[in-house]
Amino acid sequence: MDWQFLQKLTIIQQIAVIALSVLGIIYSIILHEIAHGYAALLGGDDTAKRMGRLSFNPIRHVDLVGTLILPGGIILLNTILGQNIPVFGWAKPVPVSPMNLRTKKDLAFVSLAGVITNFAILLLMLLLIFIFVKFFPAAWFLIYAFITIGGVNIILVVFNILPLPPLDGYNFLISVLPNDKAVFLEKNKMILTGILLALVFLGLLKYIYGPVFNLYEIVLNAILKTGA
């Protein structure tokens, strides 16, 4: 989102956009974790349920830094400085006991449940953008919140499907590979984690996100033109 546009809004409109964006981002992060817990429950592991982590109460899932300070701080910086720093974050991981799952397929489903949920939220945001463009043009400023939430879910999907520990993509890979190959990856887990850290701190993730956000922009432009 071009956060400089907020300066053109009334105070009430600014509050509405920021509040909706923050709420949507927090629940996008939290629902990612809840999805893991429900998928595990379907697969036979009730650990998350017993620990009260299937609740939609955000307090049970909030990580002070990852869910509040980091995304909130990025939004604040974007608003004040007119930057477009990607908004991201994390929640407390939902506990899953793989030994309680019935099959390796259940572990694969648990691994993908979070990114599937974020992709569904992205589709919901695109639908809301279309509806508001087509039928509620007077509330056009809220579209920017939907665009922001959609963008955050793209980040959550793309980042988490990377086949590097401790991400969901790695856990999925471990669940579908033959045991000998899975053991090999586990033995080299520290090296793979180092690769992930290098991607993050060297700013190389932009080469992964870039093409995806270009596609997102094309889809958004197509939707926005329907209201012209």
* Confidence check: pLDDT of 111 > 80: yes
pLDDT confidence band for 203 (50 / 70 / 90): confident
Cα–Cα distances in angstroms (integers) from residue 219 to residues 138, 212, 225, in the given order? 22, 11, 10
Q: Which of 8-17, 101-110, 195-204 has the highest mean pLDDT?
A: 101-110
217-228 mean pLDDT: 90
pLDDT tens per residue, range 122-143: 999 999 999 999 999 888 889 9
pLDDT tens per residue, range 38-78: 999 999 999 999 999 999 998 889 888 877 887 778 777 77
What is d(CA 185, CA 75) in angstroms, rounded to the nearest whole number?
37
Q: What is the pLDDT of residue 141?
A: 87
Task: Indicate the average pLDDT of the chain.
Answer: 90
pLDDT tens per residue, range 9-29: 888 888 899 899 889 988 999
pLDDT confidence band for 82 (50 / 70 / 90): low
Of 121, 106, 161, which Cα lies nearest the Cα of 26?
A: 121
Q: Alpha helix (H) ranges present in 43-141? A: 47-50, 70-81, 104-135
What is d(CA 64, CA 187) in angstroms, rounded to the nearest whole number?
32
pLDDT tens per residue, range 139-193: 888 999 999 999 999 999 999 999 999 999 999 999 999 999 999 999 999 999 9
What is d(CA 82, CA 111) in angstroms, rounded to the nearest whole number?
36
pLDDT confidence band for 4 (50 / 70 / 90): low
* Confidence check: pLDDT of 2 > 80: no
Q: What is the pLDDT of residue 84?
A: 66
What is the sign of the dihedral through the CA atoms of 5, 155, 96 and 67?
A: negative
Q: What is the pLDDT of residue 181?
A: 95
DSSP 133-158: HHH-GGGTTHHHHHHHHHHHHHHHHH
Angle at 20 between CA 33 and CA 7, to 5 degrees: 135
94-119 mean pLDDT: 95
Residue 163: count other Cβ atoms within 10 Å of its Cβ: 16
How many distinct structural domains can be found in the chain? 1
Q: What is the pLDDT of residue 20?
A: 93
Q: What is the pLDDT of residue 69?
A: 84
DSSP 113-125: HHHHHHHHHHHHH
For 32, the domain range is: 3-225
